[in-house]
Amino acid sequence: MSAVSDRLPTFPWDKLEPYKKAAASHPDGIVDLSVGTPVDPVPELVQKALIDAADSPGYPTVWGTPALRDAITGWLERRLGARGVTHRHVLPIVGSKELVAWLPTQLGLGPGDTVAFPQLAYPTYEVGARLARADHVAYDPETFAAAPAGGGLDPANLKLLWLNSPSNPTGKVLSKDELTRIVAWAREHGVLVFSDECYLELGWEADPVSVLHPDVNGGSYEGIVSVHSLSKRSNLAGYRAAFLAGDPAVLGPLLEIRKHGGMMTSAPTQAAVVAALGDDQHVHEQRERYAARRTALREALLGHGFRIEHSEASLYLWATRDESCWDTVAHLAELGILVAPGDFYGPAGERFVRVALTATDERVRAAVARL
């Protein structure tokens, strides 16, 4: 029997190691704009909530405390405009990546079932399909979302449709009309929609909308689930804090499966999430930091001969010099700057690089000076 790992592609970040070493040899050190891991402090009120809950000797629950579920439902209504959200509509998860990787398996998908995701996308969507031995197909979001929706994607055997708006890596945002058409198409064909909305609060030249908004779903959560994370909005990547919201008919069985699997968020982390979701000020402050870094890096890249496409939201600039992404990676590594090659996210990205905004102000200034 083949090992499970045989189903998986080569871990993409391993390919970047030689360029990381080259960038690190710069006399002033590396500016790492590749992975996109937060570097700013965890908000003090969140740290305090974590510390106050540190004496938690008992097992936490997979569904989370009532206070956590209250915090999630309150945030969904306050920030996303969702209506009629109850505890049955939410489910905490241990960071969003584990959910993306294991969702097809937990949904019971397998050979003969198809998982669809954008042609430029987080690699873990494909990994999830491979782990479940399901088929997978990449689609062009612009073609698919155009009226009438569904172009370029065969609904036969399609069981799971991933949306990602704002997009990682491109920062492209699907409009309210596009989302509405997609949700209607999916329901018509009996396709379950999971919408990865982890960058929803980081719109710059666009105002991202959730599939949970009643203008999109018609006031019903049937067949739709959104995925949200606190990693970027609250600098909690190290806490592994995220949650699902949407159709109780989907989340109920997932809750039971995850109980059996022991997929629970730690009690101190749950308390920290309650604090984070209840406070909008720290999100505003973090947005201001990223906005300043985005402006500086964008101007420097344009001045260096790059063209930037999309990038109207999220924590990345999708940039090209109209050459192989690996030539661009090598060029920037010579300047001590490390970025992610676009083909990590699909063949359509082969002439782009993804430039993350997640570096300290000092490192961003260094990158701007080198460019």
Look at residue 216 in the predicted model and tell me its pLDDT.
Answer: 98
- Mean pLDDT of all residues in 215-221: 98
295-318 burial: b if 16+ Cβ within 10 Å, else e: ebbbebbeeeebebebbbbbbbbb
Tell whether the torsion through CA atoms of 80, 84, 85 and 89 is positive or negative.
Answer: negative
What is the pTM for the complete model shown? 0.96
- Mean pLDDT of all residues in 94-98: 96
Look at residue 2 in the predicted model and tell me its pLDDT.
Answer: 62
User: CA 6 to CA 182: how far, in whole Å?
Assistant: 34
Look at residue 9 in the predicted model and tell me its pLDDT.
Answer: 79
Under DSSP, is residue 105 helix (H, G, I), strand (E, B) or coil?
A: helix
- Mean pLDDT of all residues in 97-114: 98
Q: Please give the structure tokens belonging to residue 338.
A: 């490390």
In the chain, % of residues over pLDDT 90: 94
Distances (CA, A) of 151 to 139, 148, 155: 9, 7, 10
Q: What are phi and psi of 320, to 5 degrees?
A: -145, 150
254-289 burial: b if 16+ Cβ within 10 Å, else e: bbebbeeeebbbbbbbbbbbbbbbbeeebbeebbeb
Distances (CA, A) of 6 to 14, 127, 131, 132: 17, 11, 10, 13
Question: Which among 256, 251, 10, 257 has a CA at the least distance from the CA of 130?
Answer: 10
List strand residue ranges (DSSP E) for the chain, in order.
31-32, 90-93, 114-118, 135-139, 158-164, 192-196, 224-229, 242-246, 307-309, 316-320, 337-338, 340-341, 353-356
Q: Which residues contact 190 (CB under 8 A, 6 or more apart)?
A: 155, 223
Question: Which among 79, 69, 74 has a CA at the least distance from the CA of 213?
Answer: 79
Q: Please give the structure tokens belonging to residue 74.
A: 């309150």
Look at residue 172 in the predicted model and tell me its pLDDT.
Answer: 97
First to last CA, the chain: 51
For the chain, what is the mean pLDDT? 96
User: CA 307 to CA 319: how far, in whole Å?
Assistant: 6
Look at residue 220 in the predicted model and tell me its pLDDT.
Answer: 98
- Mean pLDDT of all residues in 231-258: 97
Task: Report angle CA 339, 343, 347 to the nearest 5 degrees.
Answer: 160
User: CA 266 to CA 59: how far, in whole Å?
Assistant: 8
- Mean pLDDT of all residues in 302-326: 98
Residue 1: pLDDT over 80: no
Q: What are phi and psi of 90, to 5 degrees?
A: -135, 155
Among the ranges given (29-33, 144-148, 283-287), the one the predictor scored with the smallest mean pLDDT:
144-148
State the pLDDT confidence band at 3, using cuts at 50, 70 and 90.
confident
Look at residue 118 in the predicted model and tell me its pLDDT.
Answer: 97
